[in-house]
Every structure is written in C-alpha cells, then in structure tokens.
C-alpha cells in the first residue's frame, strides 16, 4: 500500500473514531437522562477516542518510514556471505544492490548481488505489508479498546487535555531537537574529517585546495586543507559590509528616531525595510552583473586592476542588504532611551546633535553593539551574495579588488554536485560548517545577552 | 578668563556657537544622506532588475508558411507513434527555404535554419496533434526565433548598432528583411510561463520552478504553522519558569540567527543521509525550511499571544473554562491575526531562500513540472541562481524576469501581511 493512501486511511479511521466516540457519549447521556450526567462534553469523548486511535498509529508510521531503509540495509548487508569491511565499500555495495533491485541493470550482476537484490525486494514487500497492517491494527485496536472502556464517569476532557499538553511540549522542544540535530550532523562529519586532516593544519594552514586527485600519483593528489585564506576572505567581505552598513544604518536610525517628522518616518522606514525583504539570490545577481562590472570599470579608469569577481562588490552589496538590519535594531534601542535623558541634555543647553552624540548614543550603546554583533553574524553566514560575486579562488590577499573566497562559498562548492561521504573533500564542508555554526553561535549569544541586559536597565 | 572683557567672552561663545551649529547641520545632513543612500539603493536595485528583465516578457517570433507535407514528415496518418517519428524539423526547413529561395550552399543553409528556435518543431507537433486535419495542408504559424536572433532584435530597438554576438552579416540581412515585411515580430513570451527549464534560452520557462516553490512552501506551511503555534502556546501559556524553559527560549532565539546554510547541512546529513529521503525533493526542502522558519513563527506567535489582555483569560476562567478551553476558545482566536502575519512573513522568507536548498540537491536541471512532494524539483530562487550562471546573454534577461516574478510574489505576501495586521489586529 502506498504511504499517502495509508495516511488517508488513518485519517479516515480517526474521523470514524471521533464520530463513534461522540455518538456513544450522546446515546449514553440520552439513556441516563441528559448531558449533565456525563463527566465531559460529548466532543471530548470523541476526541479521546480519536487521539487514542490516531496518535500511537501515527507515531509508529512515521518511525517506520524514517527507519525502515536503514534497518533493511543492515539486514541485507549482514546476510551477505562475504561482506566488505569498510563502511564506504558497504555503501557502494548497497547502492549496487538497490540499483539491481530497481531494475537499472548495466550488464549481468554478480550472483551474490542478484541474490541480495532479491532478498531486498522481498524484505521491502514484507516491510510494506507489515507497515500498513500494524498501523491499521494499532489504530483500530486502540480505538475499539477506548470505546469499550467508555463510561459516563470517564473524565475525557482531562485526559484529552493532558495528551494535548504533551503534544504542545513536544512542539516546543522542536527548537532543541533542531539545535541538537545541527550539532550532531556537523560534529560527527567534522570528527571524521579531523581524523584525516589534523586540526592544526585546518586552522592554521595557509593553503586551500580541496580537490582530491583521482589517481594517487597525480600532482597535488593529497589536497590541502588550510582554511586561513577562507577565514581572511570571510573577514574581509564582512568588514567591507560592516563598513557600509554600520554608519549608514546607524545614521538612518538616528535620523528617523530623533529628527524625522512623522511623514518622513512613515515613508522612509518601510522603504528601507524593503531592502531586508529582497532575497539574497537577487542581491547576488545584482552584485555579480551590475556592481562587479561597475567596480572593474571604475578601477580601470583610475588605473587599478580589479578582478571581475571582487571582495569589494560582494561586500558593498552585502552591506546594503544589512542596512535595514542595523537600522531597525538601533532604532529600537534609541527609542528605548528615556525621554528624560534627552530633556536633561537639552535643558543644559546642548544642541540636538550634541544630545544625540553625547547622551543618547552612549546610553543606547550596549544595544547598538548587540545589534552590530548580530549583523556581523549575519554577514559571516551570508551565502548567495558571496557565491555569486566573490569568486572561488582561495587567495590570501588584503586587496579588496581581488577575488576572495569565504567559508560559505566553499561549503556550497564542496557539497553541490556528487558527493562521497568518505572523502576529506566532502567532510571538509562539515568542518567549515562547524566553524561557522560555532562562530555565529558565540556572536549571537554575546549579542542577545548584551541586548537583554541593556533592556533590563530601563524597564 | 578674568582678563577677558565681557565683549570678548561673548564673541568667543558666539564663534563657538556658530561652529556647534555647523556640526549640527552636518550631523543632520549625514542622517539625510544615509536615508537617501538606502532609498537610492532600493531604487537602483529595482530599476536595474526591471530594465534588464522587462524584455523577457516578449520574445521575437518568425512567421512561417508551413506545409504539413506527409512526404517531408515521413508519416501517413496522425497517431501517437507517427508523431514521435515525424520530421517536423524538415517542414520548418522547407518553409524557411521557400521564404528565402535564393539561399544555397551548406553553410548558408545552416545559418538560415539557425534563425528559428530548435523548439519550433515541437510547436508544429503540438498543432498537428491537436488538429490531425492539418496533415497535407498549409498554415501560417508564428514560431519562436533563436535566442541569438532575439538578443540582436531586442538590442536593435534600444540603440542603432545592435548586439551582434554569433549573428553573421547574412543573418542580419535576412532579419532586416523579415523585420521590414513584418514577418519577424516581438510577441508575448508565453513560453516563459508555461515551460520548464531548458538549455535554450528561448524555450526556458519558470513553470517547473514555480510549481516546485509552491510544493515546497506547502510542506513548510503544513508543518511550521501548527508546530510553531503549538510551541508558542506552550511557552506563553503553560511553561513553568524553570531552566528547561529558559533553555528552550535561548535555543529559539539562537536558531533565529543561525545562518541558513547550516540548516542545509543539517538537511543533508540528517534527512538525506540518515533517513534516506529522496534528493532534490520538495518534501526535504520543506522540512529544512520548516526548521528555518520555526523561530520566526514562534517568536511572532508569542508576541501575538502576549498582546491578548489577561482580562480575557480571567473572564473565561471565571466562567469555569479549563485552561485548555481558555486558550483554544478565547485566546487563540484573538491572537490569530498576529500569528498569521508572522507566518506569512516566515513564508516569504522561505520563498526567497536559496542556500539551504542548494545543499539538499535542489540544483538539478529540472525540465519537467514536479507532480508531487517526492519528485525531483527546483525552486524559483535556485532557478534564478542557475540562470545567473549561464553564459548566454538571453539568460540575463530571463534571470531578471524570474527575479521580477519572485519579487512580485514577495511583495504580495508582505503587503497582505501588513494589510492583515491593519485590518484584523485589535488594540486593547
């Protein structure tokens, strides 16, 4: 049975369970003289039955779908007479067996593989049957059991609410599971990477060329995984972006919060927010096709040589993207500075700009710093603009007109296309991902902490 | 100080005051300049995209007098099998030769044939399939011109010279002739909205990507809205103040600022490698985007729940409602507009997201429109990324046009979020 049909069938069963539970309660109430003799409203009896019918079966079904392939794979591989030693060889064999089972034959398969493929097909058929059978039996069984246990004294509402509360808690924990998932996925692959490449070489090596040669005797066959050029590239692009975004964003926020009239504010604020809503791929296109050629021509006009993919183009456009981010965060903290501070400064005879520079900004500084840190973490993690406009060459350079590469660009280039999960080349992407995650995590943590602490001061 | 007369002191103060006022003016000017810079960036960005992309909505087409000659086609009658084998390219070539009878020689002929898109035979096939009566008869059809011709014609109308590219002198003579007689015209480019991706710019369209985006967003919405709202309800209405709750909150705030590409790594390692879900599928894309948009939805839903005044809850409790009833019957309906606004904004984010989808293999070259959430698909931003990498000049135009479509979807979503907030949100 196909999975969507199974889901539909389960839904139907749940609806039937609700209906029966409901009518059961109503008939019972009618027999004993009115709804007031029930412990809960009839709808809750329906829900109670439906929950018992649907929830365990749904959990079983999802778990089955999630794990059946892995279990079948292990069963098939273990059933082989001479199974390969390494995990990668096992994976290769597994792909072969799957292909044979799916009928994608290239020539006559080895007898062992053909047998394994038959075994696989049989296991899959069994799994499909069992999945459908167990799910439906569990659903009907538990639903019927709940109906049998029905009595007017059953406190259905409380039971339903208890279950729902657990469901709500489980949803709230999704964030924790996501974080754990991210950590596990980058950590495990990174550890495997660091078995092949020492941590010190990765962190302090000056040469990055992750291409692995096909033959062992080829030139540069080992690949070099010194990530320093990536870190400097990321820092340079981020610095250029901040150089644009912080002054412009901060000054816009100050102007909007302190000087602008209501009409200017009502116009300018949403227009600036548009910049935050534009997808990054659009900025990337803009940077690669409009800004980069412009910079190249402008540099040529003053006698400088700029590459067609330059850190400057990517950084400038990224800065523009981050302007609304800085400005709205600064706007919030500037508005949170109590009016009494401004009144005091103005009363002592300072001009408006002196009030802003000497009183408002220092008072808002922690919040602004927090906002800037968040913006930095966003710039470090930004991907599409740099992928499209900063280039791929891992140059260790301080010249913003040169092309540089960043951590995110390398993650994308290493992982797009065919991957082998045992080559350091693919695993390197996860190590870079780990670095990226840790860096942004620390930045976010400090930033959120600073912002929160500051807010408490005036609340 | 004592040496100075009152007059001198005043003079000094006034001089200094003038300086302070100058600083004030500069400061103010800097503020205005910053705002102007931001607005200018918006204007340049949008006008650049529109200027580059508006051309893609029209497409040069050539009018041909085609004769569905059974001899040339090599078929007797119209049926499924004969249509697959029929030589429609020959019919097109025949029509071109008839239009320009003076052309002779192999290379000259090849140039002549290259005026018309390689997708033109499919158009004839579809016409014949729709109306088998046409076999053996003639008709006048408009077929798409090749992208080089299209680029040349479009650049011609802008400035005198025209972008030559691979177009030869001879071809330009023919193009001029066709233009003069009205047999080469720019017509509405319906291919752009009805086709999937293609290596030939004149046949490339965004339909497959649009459907892929739609499916991915549906998965995202179906998962992230209920989970996000449930999480917000738990945190706002139930959670006891303890370490566990603090941990969840810190986690959510942190996840909101984790780079999107990291979610792509998670999707690759967990959903594709561990759970062996299909690559390039909207299902996996939707799962990854769900994890990415959840913090946005949770944070805005919590704000919406917080804005419902406690008096509502107290009144319901006073009437004997249970806590769950208070939440689901009273608080949730009142907070719904705020939650929906947050969800739409989250969806807009998900619609524009590219990087995590690259990780899970949604960069494949997809021609067919995906039929379900497990079919290989691509999404609009990824299609834009792929086209932006293509060398043909005509793809620049199409990339910009796809961006315009994407941006208009985003504008509609964001405007409706603002409208919803204004229309439905209650101030207490």
Q: Tens of pLDDT along A387-422? A: 998 877 777 878 888 888 899 999 998 888 666 666
A334 pLDDT more than 80:
yes
Q: Which residue of chain A has the CA closest to B20?
A: A351
The dihedral built from the CA positions of residue B269, B273, B274 and B279, taken in this order, carries a sign that is positive
Contact at CB, B352 and A278, closer than 8 angstroms: yes
Residue B42 contacts A, CB cutoff 8 Å: yes
Question: A285: nearest CA in chain B?
Answer: B388
**Topology annotation, domain B207-424:** MetI-like fold (1.10.3720)
d(CA B157, CA B148): 15
d(Cα B208, Cα B185) in Å, to the nearest integer?
A: 27
Statement to judge: residues A233 and A156 lie in one domain: no
State the pLDDT at residue A106.
65
Angstroms from B32 CA to nearest CA on chain A: 7
The confidence score (pLDDT) of residue A79 equals 78
* Interchain CB distance below 8 Å, A444 and B33: no
Q: How far is CA A217 from the centre of its chain?
A: 40
Rounded CA-CA distance A319/A317 in Å is: 5
Measured between alpha carbons, how far is A42 from A27 in angstroms, rounded to an integer? Answer: 10
Q: Are residues A292 and A437 in the same domain?
A: yes
If one counts every other C-beta atom within 10 angstroms of the C-beta of residue A260, the result is: 19
Longest CA–CA separation in chain B, Å: 117
Find the DSSP H helices in A310-383. Answer: 311-336, 339-347, 352-355, 361-381
Task: Give the model's pLDDT for residue B344.
Answer: 92
Same domain, residue pair A161 and A229? no
Interface probe for B, chosen from A230, A261, A383 (most Cβ of B below 10 Å), is A383
**Type and span of the H or E element at A50:** helix A42-79
Q: Which of B238, B257, B354 sits opposite A165 (nearest CB)?
A: B238
Contact residues, chain B, for A447 at CB < 8 Å: 257
Round to whole Å and give the CA distance between B168 and B283.
Answer: 48
Whether residue A309 contacts residue A288, with contact meaning beta carbons closer than 8 Å, is answered with yes
For residues A236 and A381, membership in a common domain is answered with yes
Q: Residue A171 and residue B231: Cβ atoms within 8 Å? A: yes
Residues from chain B contacting residue A384 (CB–CB below 8 Å) = 354-355, 385
Structural domain boundaries of chain B?
A: 6-54, 56-200, 207-424
Based on the fold, state whether residues A306 and A408 are members of the same structural domain. Answer: yes
Q: What is Dmax (Cα atoms) for chain A?
A: 97
Bridge partners (DSSP) listed for residue B67: B138
CA dihedral in degrees (A35, A39, A44, A50; nearest 10)?
-110
Report whether A176 contacts B251 (CB < 8 A).
yes
Q: Which whole-number Å values give the CA distances from B190 to A302, B194, B202, B205, B404, in the listed order?
A: 45, 6, 10, 9, 16
DSSP label at A403? Answer: -
Indicate whether A221 pLDDT > 80: no
* Nearest beta carbon to residue B39 from set A67, A250, A268: A268
Q: How far apart are CA A365 and CA A356, in angstroms?
A: 11
Buried-state track A287-318, b at ≥16 Cβ within 10 A, e below 16 = bbbbbbeebbeebeeeeeebbebbbbbbbbbb
The number of residues making up chain A comes to 459
Q: How many CB atoms lie within 10 A of CB A356?
A: 25
Domain shared by A282 and A406, yes or no: yes
Q: Is residue A150 part of a domain?
A: yes
Which residues are CB-contacts of B370 (< 8 A; sequence separation ≥ 6)?
A: B208, B211, B212, B215, B282, B376, B377
Backbone angles phi and psi of A412, in degrees to 5: -65, -50
CATH of the domain at A405: 1.10.3720.10
> For residue A219, what pLDDT is reported?
53
Confidence of residue A35 (pLDDT cuts 50, 70, 90): confident
Low-confidence ranges of chain B (pLDDT < 50): none
CA A18 to chain CA centroid, nearest Å = 37
Q: What pLDDT sits at residue A216?
A: 52
Q: Which residues of B, range 293-322, sit inside 8 Å of A by Cβ? A: 294-295, 298, 322
For the beta carbon of residue B319, count every other beta carbon within 10 angstroms.
10
Alpha-carbon gap, residue A76 to A72, rounded angstroms: 6
**By CB neighbour count within 10 A (0-12 exposed, 13-18 middle, 19+ buried), where does A449 fall?**
middle
- DSSP one-letter string for B355-409: HHHHHTTTTS---SPP-STTS----HHHHHHHHHT---HHHHHHHHHHHHHHHHH
Q: How far is CA A91 from CA A59, A83, A443, B359, in A?
A: 29, 11, 38, 20
Taking the Cβ of residue B171 and every Cβ of chain A, the question of whether any pair is shorter than 8 Å is answered with no
Least confident of A122-126, A137-141, A162-166, A380-384: A122-126
Q: In angstroms, rounded to a whole number, what is the distance separating the alpha carbons of residues B46 and B406?
A: 13
Q: Is the dihedral of CA B214, B219, B220, B224 positive or negative?
A: positive
pTM: 0.88
Please check whether residue A170 lies inside any domain of the structure: no
Best A5, A58, A168, A248 residue to mutate vs chain B (most B CBs within 10 Å) = A168
- pLDDT, position A220: 52
pLDDT of residue B385: 92
Domain that holds residue A270: 224-458
Q: Which of B30, B354, B396 sits opposite A280 (nearest CB)?
A: B354
A314 falls in which pLDDT band (50, 70, 90)? very high
Cα distances (angstroms) measured from residue B101 to each of A198, B37, B118: 72, 59, 21
> Would you say A7 and A39 are in contact if contact means Cβ atoms under 8 Å apart?
no
- Which chain A residues contact residue B268 at CB under 8 A? 185, 415
Domain count, chain A: 2
In a domain, A74, yes or no: yes
CA separation for the pair B192, A123 (Å, rounded): 46
Residue A110: burial class (beta carbons within 10 Å; 0-12, 13-18, 19+): exposed
User: Average of pLDDT values for A255-265?
Assistant: 91
Residue A98, in any domain of the structure: yes
* C-beta of residue B376 within 8 angstroms of C-beta of residue B279: yes
| A188 contacts B352? CB cut-off 8 A | no
The reply to whether B251 touches chain A by the CB within 8 Å rule is: yes
Cβ neighbours of A429 in B, within 8 Å:
265
- The residue count of chain B comes to 428
Q: Is residue A207 part of a domain?
A: no
Strand locations in B96-136, DSSP E? none
Report the phi/psi class of residue B379: left, alpha or beta, with left for phi > 0 and alpha for psi in -120 to 50. beta
A159 and A229, same domain (yes or no): no
- The whole-angstrom separation of Cα B428 and Cα B426 is 6
Measuring CA to CA, how many Å separate A106 from each of A115, B192, B293?
A: 16, 38, 43
Could you say which of A134, A165, A196 is where a domain stops? A165
Containing B173, the helix (H) or strand (E) segment is helix B169-181
Statement to judge: residues A293 and A383 lie in one domain: yes
Q: How far apart are CA A251 and CA B56, in angstroms?
A: 39
- From the list A160, A290, A429, which residue is nearest B48 (CB)? A290
Residue A195 forms part of a structural domain: no
**B166: three-class secondary structure by DSSP:** coil
Is A173 contained in some domain? no
Of A278, A280, A351, the CB nearest to B24: A351
Contact (CB<8Å) A374/B353: no
Q: For residues B54 and B76, what is the distance between their CA atoms, to the nearest angstrom?
A: 44
Chain B closest CA to A397's CA: distance in Å? 25
Closest C-alpha to B227, from B294, B326, B302: B294
Angle made by CA atoms A200, A204, A206, in degrees to the nearest 5: 130
Q: Is the Cβ of B278 closer than 8 Å to some Cβ of chain A?
A: no
pLDDT at A153 over 90: no
pLDDT confidence band for A1 (50 / 70 / 90)? low
B222 shares contact with chain A (CB less than 8 Å): no
Burial B292-317 (b: 16+ CB within 10 A, else e): bbbbbbbbbbbbbbeebeeeebeebe
Q: Are A282 and B49 inside 8 Å of each other by CB?
A: yes
Contact A21, A83 (CB under 8 A): no
Contact between chains at B269 and A185 (C-beta distance less than 8 A): yes
Q: Would you say A440 and A377 are in contact if contact means Cβ atoms under 8 Å apart?
A: yes
CA–CA separation, B229 vs B241, rounded Å? 19
How far separated are the first and last CA of chain A, in Å rounded?
A: 60
């Amino acid at each position: 049975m196909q999975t969507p049909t199974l889901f539909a069938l389960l839904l139907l069963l749940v609806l039937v369970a609700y209906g029966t539970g409901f009518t059961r309660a109503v008939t019972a109430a009618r027999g004993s003289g009115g709804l007031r003799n029930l412990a809960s409203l009839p709808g809750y009896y329906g829900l109670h039955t439906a929950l018992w019918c649907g929830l365990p079966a749904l959990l079983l079904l999802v778990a089955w779908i999630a794990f059946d392939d892995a279990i079948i794979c292990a069963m098939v591989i273990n059933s082989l007479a001479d199974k390969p030693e390494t995990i990668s060889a096992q994976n290769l064999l597994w792909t072969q067996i799957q292909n044979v089972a799916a009928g994608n034959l290239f020539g006559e398969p080895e007898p062992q593989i053909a047998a394994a493929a038959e075994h696989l097909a049989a296991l899959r058929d069994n799994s499909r049957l069992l999945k459908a059978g167990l799910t439906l039996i569990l659903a009907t069984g538990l639903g019927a059991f709940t109906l049998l246990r029905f009595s007017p004294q059953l406190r259905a509402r409380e039971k339903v609410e208890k279950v729902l509360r657990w469901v709500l808690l489980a949803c709230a924990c999704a964030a924790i599971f996501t974080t754990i998932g991210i950590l596990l996925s980058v950590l495990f692959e990174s550890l495997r990477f660091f078995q092949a490449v020492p941590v010190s070489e990765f962190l302090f090596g000056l040469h990055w060329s992750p291409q692995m040669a096909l033959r062992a005797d080829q030139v540069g066959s080992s690949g070099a995984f010194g990530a320093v050029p990536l870190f400097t590239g990321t820092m340079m692009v981020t610095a250029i972006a901040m150089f644009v975004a912080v002054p412009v964003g901060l000054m816009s926020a100050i102007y909007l919060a302190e000087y602008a009239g209501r009409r200017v504010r009502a116009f300018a604020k949403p227009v600036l927010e548009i910049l935050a809503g534009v997808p990054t791929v659009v900025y990337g296109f803009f940077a690669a096709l409009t800004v980069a050629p412009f910079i190249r021509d402008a540099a040529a006009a003053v006698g400088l040589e700029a590459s067609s993919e330059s850190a400057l183009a990517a950084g400038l456009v990224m800065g523009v993207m981050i302007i609304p981010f800085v400005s709205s965060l600064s706007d919030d903290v500037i508005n949170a500075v109590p009016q009494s501070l401004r009144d005091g400064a103005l009363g002592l005879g300072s001009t408006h700009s002196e009030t802003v520079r000497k009183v408002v900004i220092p008072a808002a500084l922690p919040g602004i710093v927090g906002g800037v840190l968040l913006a930095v973490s966003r710039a470090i993690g930004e991907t599409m603009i740099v992928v499209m406009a900063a280039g791929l060459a891992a140059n260790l350079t301080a010249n913003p007109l040169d092309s540089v590469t960043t951590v995110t660009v390398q993650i994308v280039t290493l992982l797009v296309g065919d991957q082998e999960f045992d080559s350091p080349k693919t695993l390197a992407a996860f190590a870079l991902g780990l670095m990226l995650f840790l860096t942004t995590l620390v930045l976010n943590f400090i930033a959120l902490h600073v912002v929160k602490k500051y807010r408490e001061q005036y609340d | 100080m004592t040496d100075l007369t009152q007059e001198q002191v005043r003079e000094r103060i006034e001089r200094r005051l003038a300086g302070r006022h100058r600083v004030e003016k500069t400061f103010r000017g800097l503020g205005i300049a910053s705002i102007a810079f931001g607005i200018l960036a918006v204007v340049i960005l949008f006008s650049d995209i529109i200027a580059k992309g508006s051309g893609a909505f029209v497409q040069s087409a050539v009018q041909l007098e085609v004769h569905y000659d059974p001899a040339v086609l090599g078929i007797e009658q119209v049926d499924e099998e004969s249509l697959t084998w029929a030589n429609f390219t020959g019919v097109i070539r025949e029509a071109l030769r008839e239009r320009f009878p003076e052309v002779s020689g192999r290379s000259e002929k090849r140039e002549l044939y290259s005026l018309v898109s390689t997708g033109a035979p499919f158009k004839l096939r579809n016409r014949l399939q729709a109306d088998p009566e046409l076999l053996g008869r003639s008709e006048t059809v408009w077929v798409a011109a090749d992208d080089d011709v299209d680029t040349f014609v479009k650049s011609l109308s802008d400035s005198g010279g025209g972008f030559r590219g691979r177009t030869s002198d001879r071809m330009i003579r023919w193009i001029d002739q066709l233009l003069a007689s009205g047999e080469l015209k720019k017509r509405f480019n319906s291919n752009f909205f009805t086709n999937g991706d293609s290596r030939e710019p004149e046949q490339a369209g965004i339909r497959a990507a649009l459907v892929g985006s739609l499916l991915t967003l549906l998965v995202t919405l179906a998962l992230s809205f209920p989970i996000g709202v449930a999480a917000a309800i738990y945190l706002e209405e139930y959670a006891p103040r303890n370490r566990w709750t603090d941990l969840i909150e810190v986690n959510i705030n942190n996840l909101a600022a984790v780079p999107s590409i990291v979610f792509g790594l998670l999707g690759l390692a967990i959903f594709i490698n561990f759970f062996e879900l299909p690559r390039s599928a909207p299902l996996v894309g939707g799962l990854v985007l769900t994890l990415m948009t959840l913090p946005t939805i949770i944070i805005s839903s919590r704000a919406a729940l917080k804005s419902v005044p406690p008096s509502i809850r107290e009144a319901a409790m006073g009437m004997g409602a249970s806590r769950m009833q208070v939440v689901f019957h009273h608080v949730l309906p009142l907070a719904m507009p705020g939650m929906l606004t947050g969800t739409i904004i989250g969806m807009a984010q998900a619609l524009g997201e590219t990087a995590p989808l690259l990780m899970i293999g949604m960069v494949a070259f997809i021609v067919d429109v995906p039929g379900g959430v497990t079919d290989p698909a691509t999404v609009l931003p990824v299609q834009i990324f792929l086209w932006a990498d293509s060398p043909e000049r005509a793809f620049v135009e199409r990339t910009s046009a796809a961006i315009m479509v994407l941006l208009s979807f985003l504008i509609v979503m964001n405007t409706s979020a603002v409208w919803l907030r204004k229309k439905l949100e209650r101030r207490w």
